[in-house]
């Protein structure tokens, strides 16, 4: 219960700041009368010596301790219930005085620096910005940069975003990569490539066939006429022999038994685009059950995916049993990037390494009939990326005898030119085309005048443009092309602090800074033309305009970046792969399930956002966003296919809300055991916004037991019986104990899984066999610090829902930290409460909260 | 990730790449003398230059063919050790060692020189490799601070990682390495390279001015953040200055002509021989003192008599005799080229020692049992470097001895003051300096 601060500051005779080391009278008296008994220099209960503390000045270091003191008294936690209590008036007077001092102190410090600190773009923002600036949706530069740190939970806060020469070197490289991708090297639109690719033509798939991890199929049956090896029982011929015997190229279907792993990727390497762009891809797939030579119906619809070799999954699609199904998608491919097929829902297994191989195996499989590719698809040429750099300057042929150094051109070609006769660009023999100017300095100025404000997200003065033109001029003097000279200027721009940092001068944010803050919040990238126009006209900060723009941006596809990035960081989903569930204890955990988990959570948050659902749904909702694999994990019938969709939850499913989602339950556990402390602390930090105190030093870690002898609950007995532990753990553990009903992959359990002692267990859905037993029973009951008890997660959720405002306060705080790069501090509390008030009508709808954040003074000021 | 067909190289020649600067070097001392006796005299009057060549083949080695049954000095050569047996007194081999907590089957190739734990886990972040650790301190003494090489795959994967865990792309062309070391280039080419470096510096100057302008608008706390930008620019500039200094110094003259790169993927033996010849020259001329070589025959069908299957598939031999036999042919070929390399290093003299005495040659694999993708009991040997050799040091097969201890010994042998590398617990027990 935080005291409402609205109105407290008005009309108070504010005391001198505590920084003057003059503790005001009311504060001093209160401490003397109600705290000193336990917390003086001699007794120092809990390690707190208030005599020394009050003598110390109030500065950044002691500030947070003062806030904690304030909150403990405000919540009624201090003095402890069994000690004599101050009167209501005494408490109020003390709190008012302390609040006044703290706010004055903080605002004074803030006057020089603002709330948030100057920061660079994080690597996700950096990549998005280059992608949007050049209209190159697939440009891959993020993984070139070292990982960013996080502060207050987010990589949007300056403290986590250091800069060293390692980054700077990489920025230079990344800028070059972007310029290479953007600059057109041909005057004509590249010829359209349109072809059908067959799995039997691809090297890695041939390896799978010869290695026993796949079979040739025809008319939904095994095709022995082509490749008898899997069943003939002969020792297999090697790939060289097979290729010489002309068994390949094979143009039929191929059924694969193998999921992607560190030694196998079904890479369609015969196609590697020369020109980056959009490609229409169509694939025909179906699934089956292979049984020692027979092709039978598949036990379930399988799921396949297409990946871009440099960037990961492009899309998932269903492969129904014995039913060739076509799927089409338009995807961006970078130059040289391959399409890689993956049997995403197959359980990792290497039939080729088993005795008897395919001849003796019974295994599900996914068949690929063909893969059609068409592209690159361009509406116009040169593409927008090139025009961003060179406008409509013509591309002319470079005169190799001119004595000027030619622009660098990378030879491009594919290893399999036979089916791509037009696609070889072999530069010593090819003409070089380059953007040319008859008035280089004037054109340079024109182009830079357009480029620099876009890249820097604010207007650029004449002097600054002239400085860049000067750079171009000096480069032209060393006998190079206009293109190369401009490249230097563009590279300098992309490595300048104007590009790399977010520019927010102190005080109320000027319109361009506001546009930038808004677009990096909701799109993770630079503002678009509409936002920039409003900023140029000085009209963005008008409240109605600001709100309307935020609405527009939330409806734009780019808002997906916000949903994904914010959810990942708020809920710690980036730790998804930090641990791997033990294969013996969790045989039903497969890559396809792992991929579905964050998809559920992101879709759930998006649903709350789009439909303005109340914040209480975060704790308990009557629906979930599921696909088949998730529904199987949760035991919810009637959901089939890989697409995530909204499902109304039947009564008694114990699902609905963030706390019981598999992704959350996984990141708060390790590979073998769950921890009520870890989960409980997560709930406090992420859902309630009340982070627990750090543990005392030298407390040894508990070694959890998976032999089935005891339970974690029993092992944490001291948390309840020892008052020193209970001080914090009475708050931390309860939610975690209720969540013991869910295992490390988020499945419901009534008994713990054990590797040694226990009873026979059933094979879980999705596993081939079982190697664990059922151990002791789970006891999910507990008690909140105020005495309210719960028997299970359902009852705990209801107790948490008693304070919806706290849930909203937390979410608002998370959004504010993400959006402004600074967590709400003590002095911000009044404004946060006001913000919450505006969303009370919709029960703190999530959409309303986001808009309220945008319109808050905390957002519109530095 | 194995890909059969080459993808067009995207990397544009940048002013830094052309100068061949390894990442994360501290400021170079441009006042140091170049190479040769004068340089060594200036280093420290009595210090002999010490070198390191770390080689890893990532498909494993059949244990029975590598490890002798006996330990100590009196061991009977295994089939592979028989191939290099004329050098018996110049190498030590180890059994029962591995990197603590380095698992993940093939993924362990990422950690062979870093020993970073759990390279196969999601969210894995690598750490600095042995050669880059040394390069931070001694890289500046040679024209090329360190060489990172790959023979094998179509990608540019390597064994070398920077302090921030970023993989350094491998060099694959023997001809390019040769040119970098020995081909002076016409005066115009040198001028062009120097111009590139100067262009780089002028870009850095330019953005430095941008930062100075920006600084005026910032409050004190914000200025502290911008300071990091200034420091980064200054550090990078220092590297460019050092690289330019080397550009002006004449390169050594050698009698071996420039090699022509072998383009056929399957000529594994020939490619290794060619690369070893160039690397030996690199060490002889003191062009570099730190080399890593990653051999990746994953998707090759090496052109060796009797080999018709591609390497990776036959490493999963399932103990079939005919498959084991074929795999052994590929592995034996490695040792044949290693034999030639060691002979060549022994034949080169420097002061009163051989080049082999002054070069630690590490050879091994990241998997002890490739068939089972097991990362324990790694096959590793170390040749040269001036140690007391000839032993088979056998450690515990069930509780492996930490291999990073060998790295600590190697670093100390190079004159670096360190007693720890990754998860080491000390120096390599039983390995002594001669």
| B219-235 residue pLDDT tens | 888 998 899 899 889 87
Is A164's Cβ below 8 Å from some Cβ in B? yes
Query: Is B253 touching A (CB cutoff 8 A)?
Result: no
List pLDDT tens digits, range A287-299: 999 998 899 999 8
Most A CBs within 10 Å: which of B164, B206, B304, as the mutation test of the A interface? B206
In this prediction, residue A837 carries a pLDDT of: 97
Cβ partners under 8 Å of residue A74, min gap 6: A1, A2, A3, A95
**How confident is the model at residue A694, as a pLDDT?**
79
Strand A119-120 relative to strand A501-502, pairing: antiparallel
Q: What is the dihedral of CA A179, A185, A188, A189, to 10 degrees?
A: -40
Alpha-carbon gap: B344 to the closest alpha carbon of chain A (Å) = 34
Q: Which residue, among B122, B128, B153, B227, would best test binding to A if mutated, counting the most A CBs under 10 Å from its CB? A: B122
- Strands A339-342 and A221-222, sheet pairing: unpaired
- Between vectors from CA B86 to CA B81 and to CA B90, what angle results, nearest 5°? 85
- The residue assigned the tokens 């502290």 is B224
Residue B16 has pLDDT above 80, yes or no: no
Asked if residue B9 has pLDDT above 50, the reply is: no
Question: Cα B65 to the chain's mean position, in Å?
Answer: 25
Rounded alpha-carbon distances, angstroms, from residue B231 to A155, A676, B211, B226, B227: 22, 45, 11, 9, 6
CA-CA distance, B397 to A25, in Å (whole number)? 73
Cα separation of the two ends of chain B: 42
Closest approach of A18 to chain B, Cα-based (Å): 22
| CB-CB contact of B7 with A336 (8 Å) | yes
The tokens for A98 are 């302390």
- Model pLDDT, residue A41: 84
A335/B235 touch (CB, cutoff 8 Å), yes or no = no
Mutate to test the interface with A, among B194, B242, B313 (most CBs of A within 10 A): B313
pLDDT score at B42? 45
- Whole-number pLDDT of residue B189: 79
Q: Out of B121, B211, B221, whose CB is closest to A113?
A: B221
pTM above 0.90, yes or no: no
Q: Give the 3-state secondary structure of residue B91.
A: strand
Q: Is the CB of B191 inside 8 Å of chain A's CB atoms?
A: no
Mutation site for B-interface testing, chosen from A114, A123, A157, A169 by largest number of B Cβ within 10 Å: A169
Q: Say if B187 is an interface residue toward chain A (CB within 8 Å).
A: no
Is residue A289 within 8 Å of residue A312, measured between CB atoms? no
State the average pLDDT for chain B. 85
Higher pLDDT, A859 or B326: A859
E-only strand ranges, A176-228 = 193-197, 214-218, 221-222
- Classified as helix, coil or strand, A703 is coil
Whether the link from the prior residue into A644 is cis, omega within 30° of 0, is no
**Interface with A, mutate which of B309, B314, B317, B375 (most A CBs under 10 A):** B309
Contact flag B229-A163 (C-beta cutoff 8 Å): yes
Residue B2 confidence (pLDDT): 32
Buried b (16+ CB within 10 A) or exposed e, A341-352: bbbbbbbebbbb
A480 touches chain B (CB under 8 A): no
The model's confidence at residue B27, banded by pLDDT at 50, 70 and 90, is very low
| Nearest residue on chain A to B317, alpha-carbon basis | A353
Which chain B residue's Cα is nearest to A212? B313
- In terms of DSSP H, where are the helices of A368-411? 384-390
In B289-328, the residues whose Cβ lies within 8 Å of chain A are 298-299, 301, 308-310, 312-313, 316, 318, 320, 322
User: Which residue ranges in chain A fall short of pLDDT 70?
Assistant: 1-21, 227-246, 411-429, 697-709
Does any CB of chain B come closer than 8 Å to the CB of residue A163? yes
Nearest CA distance, B37 vs chain A (angstrom): 34
- CB spacing of B166 vs A577 below 8 angstroms: no
Determine the residue among B27, B188, B191, B228 to mutate to test chain A binding: the one whose Cβ has the most chain A Cβ atoms within 10 Å.
B228
Which of B94, B162, B109, B176 has the alpha carbon at shortest distance from B402?
A: B94
The pLDDT score that the predictor gives to residue A50 is 86
Q: Is B372 on the interface with A (CB under 8 A)?
A: no
Among residues A785, A210, A577, A38, which one has the least CA distance to residue B312?
A210
pLDDT of amino acid B44? 54
Q: Which residues pair with A373 in a beta bridge?
A: A195, A281
Cα separation of the two ends of chain A:
29
Cβ-proximal residues to B232 (8 Å cutoff; 6+ apart), any chain: A163, A164, A165, A167, A168
Can you give the length of chain A in residues? 862
ipTM of the predicted structure?
Answer: 0.84
* A:B CB pairs within 8 Å: 193
Which of chain B's residues have a Cβ under 8 Å away from the Cβ of A497? 207, 210-211, 214, 226, 229
Distance from CA of B324 to the nearest CA of A (A): 14
| Torsion-angle region of A71 (φ positive above 0: left; ψ -120 to 50: alpha; else: beta) | alpha
**Helices within B183-219 (DSSP H only):** 187-215
Q: What is the pLDDT of residue A420?
A: 42
Q: How confident is the model at residue B122 (pLDDT cuts 50, 70, 90)?
A: low
Q: Is the pLDDT of residue B8 over 70?
A: no
CA distance B125 to chain A (A): 9
Q: Which tokens sit at A639?
A: 């959901």
Residues 328-367 of A with CB under 8 A from B: 335-338, 350, 352-353, 355
Q: Do B301 and A164 touch (CB under 8 A)?
A: no
Chain B contacts of A166, Cβ < 8 Å?
23-24, 162-164, 166
Contact assessment for residue A12 and residue A101, using Cβ atoms and an 8 Å cutoff: no
Q: What angle do CA B223, A824, A522 make, to 5 degrees?
A: 80
Residues of chain B positioned with their CB less than 8 A from the CB of A203:
4-5, 299
Given a contact cutoff of 8 angstroms between Cβ atoms, the answer to whether B118 and B104 are in contact is: yes
* A244 close contact with B: CB closer than 8 A: no
Residues in Cβ contact with B186 at an 8 Å cutoff, skipping those fewer than 6 apart = none
Residue B195 contacts A where some CB pair is shorter than 8 Å: yes
Find chain B residues with C-beta within 8 A of A413's C-beta: 8
Residue A118 to residue B226, Cβ atoms within 8 A: yes
Residues facing residue B363 across a β-bridge = B55, B381
Supply the pLDDT for residue B356.
97
Q: How far is CA A209 from the centre of its chain?
A: 37
> Cβ of A159 under 8 Å from any chain B Cβ?
no
- Could you tell me if A457 and A540 are in contact, meaning their C-beta atoms sit under 8 angstroms apart? no
**Paired strand residues for B393:** B94
């Amino acid at each position: 219960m935080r005291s409402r601060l609205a109105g407290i500051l008005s009309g108070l005779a504010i005391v001198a700041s505590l920084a003057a080391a003059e503790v005001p009278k009311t504060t001093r008296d209160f401490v003397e009368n109600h705290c000193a008994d336990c917390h003086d220099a001699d007794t120092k209960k809990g390690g707190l010596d208030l005599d020394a503390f009050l003598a110390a000045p109030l500065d950044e270091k002691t500030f947070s301790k003062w806030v904690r003191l304030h909150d403990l008294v405000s919540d009624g936690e201090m003095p402890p219930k069994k000690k004599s209590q101050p009167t209501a008036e005494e408490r109020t007077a003390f709190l008012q005085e302390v609040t006044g001092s703290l706010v004055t102190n903080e605002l004074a410090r803030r006057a020089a620096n603002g709330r948030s600190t100057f920061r660079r773009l994080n690597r996700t923002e950096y990549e998005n910005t280059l992608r949007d600036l050049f209209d190159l949706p697939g440009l891959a530069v993020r993984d070139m940069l070292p990982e960013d740190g996080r502060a207050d939970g987010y990589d949007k806060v300056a403290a986590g975003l250091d800069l060293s020469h390692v980054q700077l070197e990489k920025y230079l490289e990344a800028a070059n990569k972007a310029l290479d991708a953007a600059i057109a090297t041909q005057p004509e639109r590249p010829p359209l490539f349109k072809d059908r690719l067959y799995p039997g033509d691809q090297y890695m798939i041939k390896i799978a066939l010869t290695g026993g991890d796949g079979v040739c199929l025809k008319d939904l049956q095994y095709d022995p006429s082509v490749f008898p090896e899997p069943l003939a029982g002969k020792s297999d011929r090697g790939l060289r022999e097979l290729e010489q015997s002309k068994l390949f190229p094979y143009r039929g279907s191929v059924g694969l038994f193998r999921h992607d792993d560190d030694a196998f990727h079904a890479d369609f390497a015969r196609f590697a685009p020369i020109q980056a762009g959009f490609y229409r891809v169509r694939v025909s797939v179906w699934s089956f059950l292979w049984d020692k030579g027979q092709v039978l119906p598949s036990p379930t619809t399988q799921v396949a995916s297409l990946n871009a070799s440099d960037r990961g999954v492009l899309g998932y699609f269903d492969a129904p049993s014995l039913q060739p199904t076509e799927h089409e998608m338009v995807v961006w491919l970078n130059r040289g990037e391959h399409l890689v097929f993956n049997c995403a829902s197959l359980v990792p297994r290497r039939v080729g390494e088993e005795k008897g191989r395919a001849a003796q195996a019974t295994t599900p499989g996914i068949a690929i009939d063909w893969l059609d590719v068409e592209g690159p698809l361009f509406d116009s040429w040169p593409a927008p990326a090139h025009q961003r750099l060179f406008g409509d300057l013509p591309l002319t042929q470079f005169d190799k005898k001119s004595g000027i150094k030619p622009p660098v051109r990378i030879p491009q070609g594919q290893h399999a030119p036979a089916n791509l006769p037009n696609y070889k660009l072999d530069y010593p023999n090819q003409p070089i085309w380059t953007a040319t100017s008859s008035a280089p300095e004037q054109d340079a100025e024109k182009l830079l005048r357009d480029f620099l404000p876009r890249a820097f997200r604010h207007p650029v003065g004449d002097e600054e443009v002239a400085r860049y033109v000067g750079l171009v001029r000096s480069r032209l003097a060393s006998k190079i092309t206009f293109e190369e000279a401009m490249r230097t200027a563009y590279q300098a721009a992309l490595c300048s602090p104007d590009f790399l940092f977010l520019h927010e001068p102190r005080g109320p944010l000027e319109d361009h800074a506001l546009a930038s803050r808004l677009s990096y919040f909701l799109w993770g990238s630079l503002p678009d033309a509409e936002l920039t126009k409003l900023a140029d006209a000085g009209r963005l900060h008008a409240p109605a305009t600001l709100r309307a723009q935020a609405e527009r941006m939330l409806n734009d596809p780019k808002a997906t970046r916000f949903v994904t990035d914010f959810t990942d960081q708020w809920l710690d989903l980036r730790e998804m792969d930090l641990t791997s569930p033990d294969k013996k204890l969790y045989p039903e955990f497969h890559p396809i399930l792992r991929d579905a988990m964050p998809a559920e959570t992101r879709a759930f948050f998006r649903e709350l956002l789009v439909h303005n659902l109340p914040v209480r749904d975060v704790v308990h909702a009557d629906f979930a966003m599921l696909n088949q694999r998730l529904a199987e994990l949760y035991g919810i019938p009637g959901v089939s296919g890989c697409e995530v969709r909204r499902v109304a939850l039947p009564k008694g499913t114990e699902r609905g809300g963030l706390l019981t989602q598999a992704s959350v339950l996984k990141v708060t556990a390790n590979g073998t055991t769950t921890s009520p402390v870890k989960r409980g602390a997560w709930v406090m930090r992420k859902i309630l916004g009340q982070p627990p105190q750090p543990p005392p030093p030298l407390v040894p870690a508990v070694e959890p037991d998976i032999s089935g002898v005891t339970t974690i609950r029993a092992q944490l007995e001291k948390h309840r019986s020892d008052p020193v532990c209970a001080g914090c753990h009475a708050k931390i553990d309860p939610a975690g104990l209720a969540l013991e009903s869910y295992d490390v992959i988020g499945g419901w359990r009534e008994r713990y899984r054990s590797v040694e002692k226990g009873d026979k267990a059933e094979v879980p859905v999705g596993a081939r066999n079982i190697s664990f037993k059922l151990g002791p029973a789970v006891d999910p009951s507990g008690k909140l610090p105020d005495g309210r008890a719960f028997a299970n997660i359902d009852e705990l959720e209801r107790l948490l829902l008693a304070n919806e405002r706290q849930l909203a306060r937390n979410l608002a705080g998370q959004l504010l930290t993400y959006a402004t790069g600074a967590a709400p501090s003590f002095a911000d509390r009044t404004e946060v409460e006001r913000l919450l008030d505006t969303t009370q009508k919709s029960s703190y709808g999530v959409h309303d909260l986001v808009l309220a954040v945008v319109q808050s003074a905390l957002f519109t000021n530095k | 990730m194995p890909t059969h067909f080459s993808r067009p190289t995207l990397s544009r020649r940048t002013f830094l790449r052309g100068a061949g600067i390894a990442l994360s070097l501290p400021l170079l001392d441009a006042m140091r003398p170049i190479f040769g006796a004068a340089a060594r005299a200036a280093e420290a009057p009595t210090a002999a230059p010490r070198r390191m060549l770390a080689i890893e083949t990532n498909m494993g080695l059949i244990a029975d063919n590598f490890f002798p049954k006996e330990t100590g000095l009196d061991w009977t050569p295994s089939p592979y050790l028989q191939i290099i047996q004329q050098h018996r007194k110049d190498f030590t081999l180890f059994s029962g060692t591995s990197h603590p907590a380095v698992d993940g089957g093939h993924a362990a190739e990422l950690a062979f020189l870093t020993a970073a734990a759990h390279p196969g886990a999601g969210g894995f972040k690598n750490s600095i490799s042995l050669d880059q650790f040394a390069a931070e301190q001694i890289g500046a003494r040679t024209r090329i601070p360190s060489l990172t090489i790959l023979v094998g795959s179509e990608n540019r994967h390597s064994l070398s990682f920077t302090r921030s865990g970023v993989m350094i792309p491998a060099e694959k062309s023997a001809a390019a390495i040769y040119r970098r070391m020995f081909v002076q280039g016409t005066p115009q080419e040198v001028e062009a390279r120097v111009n590139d470096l100067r262009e780089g510096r002028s870009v850095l100057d330019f953005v430095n001015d941008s930062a100075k302008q920006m600084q005026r608008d910032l409050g004190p706390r914000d200025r502290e953040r911008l300071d990091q930008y200034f420091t980064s620019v200054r550090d990078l500039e220092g590297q460019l200055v050092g690289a330019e200094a080397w550009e002006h110094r004449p390169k050594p003259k050698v009698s071996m002509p420039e090699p022509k790169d072998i383009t056929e993927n399957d000529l594994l033996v020939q490619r290794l021989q060619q690369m070893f010849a160039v690397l030996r020259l690199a060490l002889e001329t003191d062009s570099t003192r730190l080399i890593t070589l990653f051999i990746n025959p994953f998707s090759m069908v090496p052109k060796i008599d009797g080999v018709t299957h591609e390497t990776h598939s036959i490493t999963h031999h399932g103990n079939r005799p005919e498959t084991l036999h074929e795999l052994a042919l590929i592995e034996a070929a490695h040792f044949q080229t290693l034999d030639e390399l060691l002979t060549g290093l022994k034949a080169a003299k420097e002061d009163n020692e051989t080049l082999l005495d002054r070069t630690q040659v590490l050879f091994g694999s990241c998997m002890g049992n490739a068939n089972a993708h097991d990362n324990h009991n790694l096959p590793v040997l170390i040749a040269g470097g001036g140690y007391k050799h000839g032993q088979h040091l056998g450690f515990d097969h069930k509780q492996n001895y930490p291999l990073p201890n060998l790295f600590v010994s190697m670093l100390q042998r190079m004159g670096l003051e360190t007693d720890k590398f990754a998860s080491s617990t000390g120096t390599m027990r039983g390995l002594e300096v001669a």
